Structure 1
Amino acid sequence: MSVDSYPETLESQHSDSEERSYREMFSMGWPQLVTCLWFALLFFYFGNVHIFYSDIWGHVSYGEWIVAHQSLPVYDPFLALADGVKSIDAAWLSQVLFAKVYASFGVRGLSHVFALTVFTSHILFWLAFYLKTGRAGISTLASFLLVVISSSRIAIIRPEIFGTLCVALMLVIMAWSEKYDVWNRTAKPGDDTQNSGKKAPLALLLALYLGIPLIFLAWANLHGSFVVGLAILGLQFLGRVLEVGWRTRSLVQVCSDPWVRCWLVVTELAVCGALLNPYHMDLFLNSLTFPRNPNLKDVLEWEPLEFRDAEGIWFCASWVLMLGLFRHSRTPIRTADMLRVGLLSLAVIVGVRMIGWFSVVFVYAMVPHLTNVIPRRELIVPVLNDNSKQPVSFWYRKTPLITAVCALIVWFGFAFSNIATPLFGGKPRPLDKIYSQGTPRKLTEFLKEHPPQGQVWNPQWWGDWLVWDGPAEMNVFMTTNAVHLTPPQVWRDYLGIARANRGWHAVAEKYAVTTFIVHKEKQVQLARQVRKLKGFKVVYEDDLSVVVSREPELIAAASQSEVQDAEKPADEKQEVQP
C-alpha cells in the first residue's frame, strides 16, 4: 500500500466507524418493538373507555358550581337530605378541570382527558421501571403486570386519575435517585462511603427538593389520595433509616447519612406543599378518616377484600409471585419496598378500592427482582451480529428495520385513535359509544319534559347523572358523591327502600316521596313492589328503568302519552317500537 493511499484508508475506516455508530444509535431491538406495540394497544384501549354513569357527573356538577359561585361549597349543593353536614371537597381542582373541559369540548373532551392522563401515567411508570432496571423488555413486562393487577380500577373516569399521574411522577424521581444510592443493587461490595448524596446531579436535587413538593401541592388539591403518596415517601425515609442502622449499628451514622437527611427534608417539604390547600390540616384529617365513614361499608368498592373476586385473585397471585421472586432473586430486598407493600396490602384487605395503589408499589418493588431472575442472553438461541463475530442473542439484536416497524406502530396507534381521527378528517366518536350502556339517557329526557316536583327516590349510582342531566332543582334522594355526607339514619333508610325491606313504604312516606325511579335489573324486588303501590302509577318505563309517581302532572302526562300511542296507526306504532 502506497504512502499516498494511507490517509484515504484512515478516512474510509473513520467513515465506516461513524456510519456504524449512527446505525447502532438509531437501531432498535425486539424489546423496543414489544414496548411500542404494548403502548399502542394501551392508547387505543384508554381512548375507547366508556364514561360511567356514576360519580364523574357529580364531579362535573361540582366543578360548574365552583366556577359559577367562585367559592367552594360548605354543604353539598345537590342533596337536600345532607343539608347541615359540612363538606370538605378534596377534589375541587379536578372538578374545576372537568367542568372547564366539558364546557370547551363536551363529553368527548372528558374522554380525551381520561385517555391522555392515564396513558401518560403509564408511560411514566414504565420510565420509572426502566430507570431501576435499564431493560426495556422487563419494564414493559412490569407495565403489563401493573395493568393486570389494577384492571378493576383502571377504566374508571374520576379525579383519582390525577392522583395516579402524581404518584407516577414521584416514582420517576425516586427511581432516578436510586442510581446514586450507596446501598442499591449496583453498589460495589465494601463501599461504605457516606458522600454519595453529594454526587447527585443538580437536576436530581431540584427534582427532589422542588419537584416533589410541587407535585404534592397539586396532588392535595386534585384528590384525597395524596396521603397515600405521603405514606410512600415517608416509608422511603424510614426504610433508609432502618437499612443504614442495621448495617452500621450506629445512630451517628444514621443521622449523618446524606440520603437519610435528604428523604427527611423531602418528606417535610412534601407535607408543607400538601398543606397549601383551602382546608389546610383539616384536609389531612378528612382524608385519613374518610375510609372509616360508616356509610361506606355498604358501598361495593369500599368493602373488605373477597379472595374469590377478581381483585382477591390478583392480590393472592401477586403475593405468590413476590415469594417466588424472593426465592430465586439475588437482588437485596429493600426495606422501604417491603414496608410499602405491607402497608398497602393491609389497606387492600380492609378496602378493595386500594388495589390500584397496591399494584403501583408492588410492581415498583418487584422490578429489580424480575431483572435478576430473567436472564439477559438466554431467552433465544444466539445468532451472529452483523458487525462482529461475537454471538448476540436474537432477542437483543438491533436493526434499522425494527426501528422502522416501531415508528409505524407508534404512528398507526395514534392515527387510528379516537383522539386523532377528527384531526385527519374522520368522524368523531359517536356519543352512544362514549356513554356506558347503563347510562339512563332516555330517562332523563323524559324527566326534563315532565319534571317531578316533590321528593324523588332514586338509585344512588344514578343520582349524580340525574343531578347533571335531569331537570333543574330536582330533589334527588341520594348521590354517589354524597354517600359519606349523608346522615347514617338517612343512609340506612335509603338502603331499606332499595332492598324493599319490610316497612319500606312507611319509610318512603316519612320522606314524602312522590316519585320512585327504580333500576329494573339491579332492584328487581323494589321494581315489583312499586308497581303495586296504591295511588301511584307507572308514568315511564324503558329497558333500564321504571318510574312510578302519584304527582297529578306526571300521571296526566303518562295518560296523554298512552292516548297518543293508541291513536297512532298500527304500522306507525310498530316503527317507533324498539
Structure 2
Amino acid sequence: MVSLAFSRPRQLSLHLPALNGVGLLTGVLYLVFFAFGFASFTDPDYWWHLRTGEIIVDTLSVPRHDTYSFTAAGAGLLNHQWLSEALIYISVNSFGYAVTLGFFIALTLASFGLMQRLLLRLGTPPMIALGLVGLGMLISAPFWTVRPQLLSWFLLAVFINVLIDRDRPAWMLVPVLVLWANLHLGFLLGLGIVGLWFLSRAWEARSGQIRFAVWPAVAFVGACVAATLLNANGPRPLLQILEYLPLTSSDVSVQGISELQSPDFGQGIHLPLLAGILVLVGVTLAGRVRDRFAVLLAIAFTAMALQTIRFQPLFALAFLPAAGLAATQLLSHRKREGEAPRSFVNWSLVAIAAVAVLIAIPLLPGAQTGRQANTDGRTFYPAQSLAWVQENVPDANVFTTHMWG
C-alpha cells in the first residue's frame, strides 16, 4: 500500500526590510527634495548641450570648431563634456525634458545617499547623519538642473566613498576616470581627490598611524593620470583648468560668469553654504577627526567653495565625512538606545508621501513637467522673439547674451 503525503502550499509573502523612525524621515526628506527639484531653473547652457549632443549623435563625431558664432565662426572648440551632451540629447529626444530632469535629480539624490551610507559606515549616529546630509542637499539644491556637472557630483561621491577608509590603491577607480574624463571636466576633481588620498595616507604612515606601501600607491596615481588621457581631446582638458582660475584669468567672459565669482553671504541663496561651513568648523574644533583624508577634503573644498560659487555643491558632499567623524567623536560617550521599528506603519507613510509628491509636482510654481524646458522661469529667454526672427529673417545674425543659452 502506497501512501501519498501532500504538503500545504506555501503562502506568498512580501517581507520589507525594517524601517525605523530615521528611515521614515530619510524617505520623506529625499521625496521632498525630489519634488522641489522639478521647480528648478533651466540652465542657460541647456540648449547648447542639447544641440551639440544632437550633432554628436547624428555625425558620430565630436565637434572641433565653433559652428554657432558669427563673429568666431570656425574657431577651435574644446568639448570636454561631449559624452554628457550626447546622453542629454538621447534622453530628451526619447523621453522629454521632465523625465531627463527627473533622472538628474535622482542621480543627485543618489550622490547624497552614498554619502549618508558612508557616514553610517563611519559610525555617525543615524539622526546626525541625516541632518548633515539634509544640510548638504540644501546647500546644493539651487544648482539642481539638467547639466553635465551633476554627473561629476555623483562620481565625486563614488570616489570619496571608495577612498575614505582605504590605505591601499583602489584600482577599480581607474576605468571610472576614463568614463569621467569624457563626461565632464570635473574629472580633474577626481585626480585631485586621488592626490589628497595619497598625501594623507603618506602623512599617516610617516606618523606611524598606518602601514602604507608607497610605490603601489604611486603606480595607482600614475594610472589615474594616464586614464584621463583616454578622451576625445587627449591632454588638452588637463590644461583648460588654467582658464578658470579667477586669480590668473584675463578672459573677460570668464570673469563675467556669476558661477565663477565668490559667494556673497548677503544673498540668501548662499546662507546654507555659510551654515555648512560653520557646522564643519564647530564640530571639527570640538571633536577630533583622525582621518586626515577627510580633513584635507574638507579644507580643500571649503577653500574652493569660498573662491568660486560653482564649487558650492561639491562642498556639500565633501564636507560630510569630516563633519560626520567629528560628530561621532563628540557623541561617542552617549549610550545608543535601540528602537523597535514599526516597519509596516513607516513603509505605509513613505508610500503615502511618495503619492503626495507625485500629485504635488505639477502644482509647484514653475514646475518642469513637459517635454520642453521652461523658458519663462526665473531667467527670461526670448524664445518667441527668436522664433519670429528665424521664420521671417532666416539669414539674420542675432546678438545673444550668455544668459540666453
Q: TM-score, normalised by structure 2?
A: 0.82
Which residue number in structure 2 is paired with residue 461 of structure 1? Answer: 403
1:379-408 residue CA offsets vs partner (Å, 9 max, x unmatched): xxxxxxxxxxxxx84xx4123x2x123322
Alignment of 1:104-503 (within 5 A): 104-133=94-123, 135-153=125-143, 155-175=144-164, 178=165, 208-210=170-172, 212-247=173-208, 257-258=212-213, 260-261=214-215, 263-291=217-245, 292=249, 294=251, 295-310=253-268, 313-329=271-287, 331-374=288-331, 393=337, 396-399=338-341, 401=342, 403-416=343-356, 429-430=369-370, 436-437=376-377, 438-462=380-404, 464=405
3-state SS of paired residue (2:398) = strand
- Residue 76 of structure 1: CA displacement? 1.7
User: What amino acid does structure 2 have at the position aligned with 1:460?
Assistant: H
For the structure 1 residues 309 and 62, does the alpha-carbon distance in structure 2 shift closer, same or farther, using more than 3 Å as the test? same
CA contact (8 A) 1:414 1:420 kept: no
- Alpha-carbon distance in structure 2 between the residues aligned to 1:110 and 1:87: 26
For the structure 1 residues 27 and 278, does the alpha-carbon distance in structure 2 shift closer, same or farther, using more than 3 Å as the test? closer
CA contact (8 A) 2:142 2:269 kept: yes
For the structure 1 residues 289 and 448, does the alpha-carbon distance in structure 2 shift closer, same or farther, using more than 3 Å as the test? closer
CA contact (8 A) 2:84 2:183 kept: yes
User: What amino acid does structure 1 have at the position aligned with 2:222?
Assistant: E
- Alpha-carbon distance in structure 1 between the residues aligned to 2:396 and 2:387: 18
1:240-296 residue CA offsets vs partner (Å, 9 max, x unmatched): 111221337xxxxx9x624x5554443333222222101121121113434436121
Rg larger for? 1
CA contact (8 A) 1:53 1:436 kept: no
CA contact (8 A) 1:101 1:110 kept: yes
- Alpha-carbon distance in structure 2 between the residues aligned to 1:239 and 1:263: 12
Runs of 4+ off more than 6 Å: 419-422
User: What amino acid does structure 1 have at the position aligned with 2:301?
Assistant: L
Alignment of 1:45-84 (within 5 A): 45-46=36-37, 48-52=38-42, 54-84=44-74
Greater RCO between the two (CA within 8 Å, min separation 6)?
Answer: 2
1:28-78 residue CA offsets vs partner (Å, 9 max, x unmatched): 3322222222122222233x2345151011101110111222211111211
The CA RMSD measured in Å over matched residues stands at 3.1
CA contact (8 A) 1:51 1:436 kept: no
User: What amino acid does structure 2 have at the position aligned with 1:366?
Assistant: A
- Residue 147 of structure 1: CA displacement? 1.3
- Alpha-carbon distance in structure 2 between the residues aligned to 1:429 and 1:306: 32
1:314-355 residue CA offsets vs partner (Å, 9 max, x unmatched): 4443333233213321x4343223323332233233322111
User: What amino acid does structure 2 have at the position aligned with 1:451?
Assistant: V
- Residue 138 of structure 1: CA displacement? 2.6
- Alpha-carbon distance in structure 1 between the residues aligned to 2:219 and 2:188: 17
- Residue 460 of structure 1: CA displacement? 2.3
Identity within the alignment, %: 20
Which residue number in structure 2 is paired with residue 470 of structure 1? Answer: none
Which residue number in structure 2 is paired with residue 552 of structure 1? Answer: none
Which residue number in structure 2 is paired with residue 513 of structure 1? Answer: none
- Residue 132 of structure 1: CA displacement? 1.9
3-state SS of paired residue (1:152) = helix
For the structure 1 residues 417 and 354, does the alpha-carbon distance in structure 2 shift closer, same or farther, using more than 3 Å as the test? same
User: What amino acid does structure 1 have at the position aligned with 2:110?
Assistant: T
Structure 1: unaligned runs, 5 residues or longer: 1-22, 182-196, 198-204, 249-253, 379-391, 423-427, 465-578
1:85 aligned to which of 51, 55, 75? 75
CA contact (8 A) 2:96 2:371 kept: no
- Alpha-carbon distance in structure 2 between the residues aligned to 1:421 and 1:411: 16
CA contact (8 A) 2:80 2:181 kept: yes
User: What amino acid does structure 1 have at the position aligned with 2:283?
Assistant: L
- Residue 161 of structure 1: CA displacement? 0.8
1:420-464 residue CA offsets vs partner (Å, 9 max, x unmatched): 999xxxxx94568955523444334433432353322233211x3
User: What amino acid does structure 2 have at the position aligned with 1:302?
Assistant: L
- Residue 236 of structure 1: CA displacement? 0.9
CA contact (8 A) 1:51 1:157 kept: no
- Residue 26 of structure 1: CA displacement? 4.9
Structure 2: unaligned runs, 5 residues or longer: 1-14, 363-367
CA contact (8 A) 1:36 1:406 kept: no
Comparing 447-456 with 237-246, greater Cα deviation is found at 447-456
CA contact (8 A) 1:305 1:350 kept: yes
User: What amino acid does structure 1 have at the position aligned with 2:286?
Assistant: H
More strand by share: 1
- Alpha-carbon distance in structure 1 between the residues aligned to 2:73 and 2:282: 53
